[in-house]
Structure 1
């Protein structure tokens, strides 16, 4: 009985092992960009920009580094994969990945006004020339595109989320201008 009690106590107090994910090192710049849709330099810029929003001071355990949080969110956005798969890739639980994606998305949205603005009359000619130089489209000041992001089948109205390629998704539309 005493041996069993001692065994239970030893099993209960196993120290956690924290490891830093070193996801960028094995990839070349082109492989990295294919996985995250951002360059290593751009992720560093995002890390510096969002550091104050995402850094979690803690005395209890190890906080997930801001760069890792950004990589998790960008990998999720870029791949359209399930949170469980992203979590397995980075070594975190699905619920942690979900919280990270929400936090990073909120932080990026909070900085949206710094980067997203409608063109005014003075910048429209430069934008029109930029689109013309890229693709020979005259009189264009922006572009709209959409994509389907794969989701798990919802329990309510499941049939409404099946797309033309016969998988469950939500339709996301993006707008950009030069």
Structure 2
């Protein structure tokens, strides 16, 4: 057998990131997290070092590479790679390690920072997270195969994720088969208990799509709203949610994509490990290589089922009150031309309107500015509209 190779000593950071999704310092941090638990108790029979075990595990998690190829790269046997992966994953999955990287914050100062970051996107107040369900493909299991088939006829694990405005994962639930509806996962999660037992302060809420029930702590969009406050609310609600989902999917695909290569739904725990690695990369500002493989499927826009997604009158009433409080003064009169017709196309700013700009309180589309701005496709000025453009200053 070839001599064992510790690539930490021979590869540059850019090469490590391509192969392991972490740089040298990130890999060393993972090693220190599990070193005591995976170090061989004796020095007999030339034991495999914790560094080699972690490298084998990270390579498998990052790429799904065949264990035999992994063994050849590191100079150990394929059975040793298999044992190292199982041992390291079991240790990383321990609650005290997961909670170091994935925990929904309950302290007021942290929640205020999250709300401020979301507010800066498109003017949605009180948002402490975006919740979404994503289907991670798996190989068809041999037991209870039918419950893992989602509505797109693909075998998957339905994973619930909550993330903040900086795309850090705040909560991950990765144990439900693909046929399970998003709303059921939420109703049986610990997050629901946090809100309904008032562990989360009043005035904090999630944003979700129409597949979730509307609640006092979960704001969903109106279906087919007429021009007015409801439409004005829908634009930043949808833009904030979709902007976060799109960027989150792009940033996490480098880890999530290899889940499709796992043969068993019990490997859903690996998705929690991907969340750990993702948040570690965010904390350390580790850049990620581009990955064209996209094995995630969103189920946006599903109608909630009768048993778990029942619309609560209190949730609908709260949403109406929220809209009347924050968006009624920003809404244009019904029938006025130049109303926003969609989410902004570009970056978000304050005090400027036009194509792709969002302004304080709501998002501005083509032909409308907010709070005294100019309307149309060009720049906005305070209290005037550009000549020759169709629009209205509000």
Q: 1:156 to 1:89 in 2, by over 3 A?
A: farther
Give the distance between the partners of 1:162 and 1:47, measured in 2 at CA. 36
Q: How many residues of Structure 1 are paired with residues of Structure 2 in the alignment?
A: 159
> Which residue does the alignment assign to 1:119?
105
Which residues of structure 2 form unaligned runs of 5+? 163-168, 171-278, 280-394
Give the distance between the partners of 2:155 and 2:52, measured in 1 at CA. 26
Higher helix proportion (structure 1 or 2): 1
Q: 1:169 to 1:82 in 2, by over 3 A?
A: farther
> Which of 63, 71, 82 is equivalent to 2:55?
71
Secondary structure of 1:141's aligned partner: strand
> Which residue does the alignment assign to 2:38?
54
1:129 is displaced (CA, Å) by: 3.5
TM-score normalised by L of structure 2: 0.33
Is 1:141 aligned with 2:129? yes
1:157 is displaced (CA, Å) by: 8.7
1:28-58: CA deviation from partner (whole Å, max 9, x where unpaired): 2122112111121111122222111110122
Give the distance between the partners of 2:128 and 2:39, measured in 1 at CA. 40
Equivalent pair of 1:86/1:97 in contact (CA under 8 Å): yes
Give the distance between the partners of 1:68 and 1:155, measured in 2 at CA. 32
Equivalent pair of 1:80/1:150 in contact (CA under 8 Å): no
1:73-129: CA deviation from partner (whole Å, max 9, x where unpaired): 011000022222222222222221111111111111122233322221512222234
Give the distance between the partners of 1:64 and 1:53, measured in 2 at CA. 13
Give the distance between the partners of 1:116 and 1:146, measured in 2 at CA. 18
Give the distance between the partners of 1:172 and 1:33, measured in 2 at CA. 28
> Which residue does the alignment assign to 1:28?
12
TM-score normalised by L of structure 1: 0.66
Give the distance between the partners of 2:72 and 2:138, measured in 1 at CA. 18
Q: 1:29 to 1:19 in 2, by over 3 A?
A: same
Please identify, of 103-112 and 142-151, the stretch whose mean Cα deviation from structure 2 is larger.
Answer: 142-151
Give the distance between the partners of 1:31 and 1:137, measured in 2 at CA. 41
> Which residue does the alignment assign to 1:82?
66
1:150 is displaced (CA, Å) by: 7.2
RMSD between aligned residues:
3.6
Which residues of structure 1 form unaligned runs of 5+? 1-16
Equivalent pair of 2:71/2:81 in contact (CA under 8 Å): yes
Equivalent pair of 1:81/1:150 in contact (CA under 8 Å): no
Equivalent pair of 2:6/2:74 in contact (CA under 8 Å): no
